[in-house]
């Protein structure tokens, strides 16, 4: 094995300017190497497509156990979840999480999700102007997930702030994390005490408790699984739907391609995910010394996986900085890869495809105002996007 040290950069991954627009920084890091040491964050950042995909596929060397977050407190809090465990524990927990997210299970949801998206987009198009984030990107997935899991009352009302905080605290212990820990704690406390009776009859949430009662998952883990539906799935889907609107507004020619050829809907969403990854950085820890791109990463090193950097790697994608719906990058990294690939990606696709279909069917062009982004540790999303005018199809 080589004893070569990786290149070093003084970049802070969680600096405000980097978080708002990380792509220039990603390009600079990729130019240095497939793995770059970042002393400011005490991490080894993985920057190139092949390096990231290989690491995601190798859980034995790149462990998730107590390692996905960038501060010790969140890693401790996530202990016992499928997000922060490795096989065989991960395999058992994930099986229950994904039982209700399989293609067969989701087929039964498609009709209602399509109808909800079409009704909401139709209403917004008729209004002629609206905020794409509050009125669509947030409203739609929050309703879908609440109905699916069976959230009612104050839980339904707190889904947005809880989901945002749950992602924010995965970052380093900066001001954003410190401010969000009490809010994320509300979600954690509720999930630690939730019972089947707190969830709507016939919901997926009730089904998870039934699996626990059967012994399919360890006692006391149903709440952890429900935590993941809300903590890991909502904020990223909101980000992706906001990105759909922004990218179609900026690239009306690409929206026209989807309108002319509806079979491009899945390809368009894949390209949205590749072009603007909804997750900025995710953690792993090495279990032994490992050689990456000819340099040594030591055992016990904290690793930062930069999905967006890999998705724009010119070694893998031609013209990676162009948004092209016909590209259909089915191998993008935004849903991860390997045993920890996004468990909820089927549901996210259902939601996003429904929005893309509705927009492409009803809209010829979107005129938008200034896109507002705010720094966020983990989820890269748009905070405000005023749609000033809708030109109907």
Give the CATH number of the domain where residue 109 resides: 1.10.630.10
Does 250 map to a domain? Answer: yes
Please report the pLDDT score of residue 292 as a whole number: 94
pLDDT beyond 90 at 134: yes
pLDDT beyond 80 at 274: yes
Strand partners, 43: 38
Residue 179: both structure tokens together: 């401010």
Does 79 map to a domain? Answer: yes
Query: What does the alpha-carbon distance between residue 352 and residue 348 come to, in Å, rounded to a whole number?
Result: 6
199, 216, 245: which is closest to 363 by C-alpha?
245
Residue 53: both structure tokens together: 């995909």
Does 7 map to a domain? Answer: no
Least confident span in 60-69, 93-102, 115-124, 216-225: 93-102
Give residue 337's region: left, alpha or beta (phi > 0; psi -120 to 50). Answer: beta
Please report the pLDDT score of residue 83 as a whole number: 85
Please report the pLDDT score of residue 100 as a whole number: 67
Question: What's the pLDDT band for 63 if we cut at 50, 70, 90?
Answer: very high
Does 330 map to a domain? Answer: yes
Give the chain's mean pLDDT.
93
**DSSP strands (E only) in the chain:** 35-38, 43-46, 62-63, 130-131, 282-286, 290-292, 295-297, 302-305, 363-368, 386-392
Least confident span in 28-42, 203-217, 333-347: 203-217
Q: What is the pLDDT of residues 150-194, one digit of tens each?
A: 998 888 889 999 999 999 999 999 999 999 999 999 998 998 899
Please report the pLDDT score of residue 97 as a whole number: 67
Q: What percent of the chain has pLDDT over 90?
A: 75
Q: In terms of residues, how long is the chain?
A: 393
Does 163 map to a domain? Answer: yes
Please report the pLDDT score of residue 203 as a whole number: 87
Q: What is the pLDDT of residues 334-389, one digit of tens each?
A: 999 998 888 888 889 999 999 999 999 999 999 999 999 999 999 999 999 999 99
Please report the pLDDT score of residue 123 as a whole number: 96
Please report the pLDDT score of residue 229 as a whole number: 78
Please report the pLDDT score of residue 41 as a whole number: 98
pLDDT beyond 80 at 226: yes
Which contacts of 310-313 are long-range, i.e. CB under 8 A and separated by 24 or more positions? 310/46, 310/47, 310/48, 310/49, 310/51, 310/52, 310/53, 311/49, 311/273, 311/274, 311/275, 311/277, 312/23, 312/26, 312/27, 312/30, 312/274, 312/275, 313/30, 313/47, 313/48, 313/49, 313/50
* Interval 233-254 mean pLDDT: 95
Q: What is the pLDDT of residues 286-297, one digit of tens each?
A: 999 999 989 999
Q: What is the pLDDT of residues 66-106, one digit of tens each?
A: 999 999 999 998 887 888 889 988 887 777 667 767 777 77
Please report the pLDDT score of residue 105 as a whole number: 73
**Residue span of the structural domain in which 249 resides:** 16-392
Does 56 map to a domain? Answer: yes
* Interval 253-265 mean pLDDT: 97
Does 120 map to a domain? Answer: yes
Please report the pLDDT score of residue 113 as a whole number: 94
48, 43, 34: which is closest to 12 by C-alpha?
43
Total domains in the fold of the chain:
1
* Interval 1-24 mean pLDDT: 92
Does 2 map to a domain? Answer: no
Question: What's the pLDDT band for 1 if we cut at 50, 70, 90?
Answer: low
């Amino acid at each position: 094995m080589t004893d070569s040290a990786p290149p070093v950069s003084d970049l802070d991954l969680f600096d405000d300017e980097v978080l708002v627009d990380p792509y220039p920084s990603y390009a600079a890091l990729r130019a240095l190497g497939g793995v770059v040491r970042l002393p400011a964050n005490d991490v080894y950042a993985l920057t190139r497509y092949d390096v990231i995909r290989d690491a995601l596929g190798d859980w034995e060397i790149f462990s998730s156990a107590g390692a996905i977050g960038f501060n010790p407190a969140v890693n401790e809090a996530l202990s016992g979840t499928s997000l922060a465990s490795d096989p065989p524990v991960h395999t058992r927990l994930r099986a229950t999480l994904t039982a209700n997210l399989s293609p067969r299970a989701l087929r039964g949801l498609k009709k209602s999700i399509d109808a909800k998206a079409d009704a909401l987009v139709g209403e917004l198009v008729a209004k002629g102007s609206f905020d794409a984030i509050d009125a669509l990107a947030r409203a739609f997935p929050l309703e879908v997930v609440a109905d699916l899991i069976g959230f009612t009352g104050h839980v339904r009302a707190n889904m947005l702030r809880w989901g945002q905080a749950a992602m924010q605290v995965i970052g380093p212990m900066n001001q954003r994390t410190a401010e969000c820990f009490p809010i994320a704690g509300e979600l954690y406390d509720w999930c630690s005490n939730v019972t089947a009776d707190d969830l709507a009859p016939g919901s997926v949430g009730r089904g998870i408790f039934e699996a626990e009662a059967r012994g399919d998952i360890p006692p006391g883990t149903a709440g952890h699984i429900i935590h993941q539906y809300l903590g890991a799935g909502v904020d990223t889907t909101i980000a992706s739907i906001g990105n759909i609107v922004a990218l179609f507004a900026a690239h009306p020619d690409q929206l026209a391609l989807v309108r002319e050829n509806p079979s491009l809907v899945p390809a368009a969403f894949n390209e949205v995910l590749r072009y603007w990854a909804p997750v900025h950085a995710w953690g792993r820890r090495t279990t032994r010394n490992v050689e990456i791109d000819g340099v040594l990463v030591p055992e016990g090193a904290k690793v930062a996986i930069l999905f967006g950097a890999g998705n724009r790697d010119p070694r893998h994608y031609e013209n990676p900085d162009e948004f092209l719906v016909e590209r259909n990058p089915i191998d993008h990294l935004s849903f991860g890869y390997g045993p920890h690939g996004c468990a909820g990606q089927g549901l996210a696709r259902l939601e996003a495809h429904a929005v893309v279909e509705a927009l492409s069917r009803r809209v010829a062009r979107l005129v938008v105002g200034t896109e507002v982004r705010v720094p966020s540790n983990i989820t890269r999303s748009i905070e405000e996007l005023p749609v000033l005018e809708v030109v109907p199809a």
